């Protein structure tokens, strides 16, 4: 258990970096949606990515509370 928990802080940092990339992607996607420059399939995919981002953000918040 100690070995598993030993690397968790680095893994968390990696996840947080990926989350920042997702947020940047969503900001760019919002700009394209405002220009009406996307297909319905892309809009649906962005919606799903946004929902996943909300879940990731919740996990990050929970982790920070625990630490």
Residue in the block written with tokens 């982790």: 63
At residue 8, the pLDDT reads 80
At residue 26, the pLDDT reads 93
pTM: 0.73
DSSP-derived secondary structure letter, 1: -
DSSP-derived secondary structure letter, 38: S
* Mean of per-residue pLDDT scores for the chain: 86
Domain that holds residue 17: 1-66
DSSP secondary structure, 46-67, as one string: HHHHHHHHHHHHHHHHHHHHH-
Q: How many domains in the chain? A: 1
């Amino acid at each position: 258990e100690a070995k598993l928990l030993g690397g968790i802080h680095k893994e968390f940092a990696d996840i947080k970096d990926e989350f920042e990339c997702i947020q940047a992607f969503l900001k760019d996607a919002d700009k394209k949606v405002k220009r009406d420059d996307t297909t319905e399939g892309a809009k649906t995919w962005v919606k799903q990515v946004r929902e996943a981002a909300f879940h990731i953000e919740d996990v990050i918040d929970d982790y920070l509370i625990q630490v």
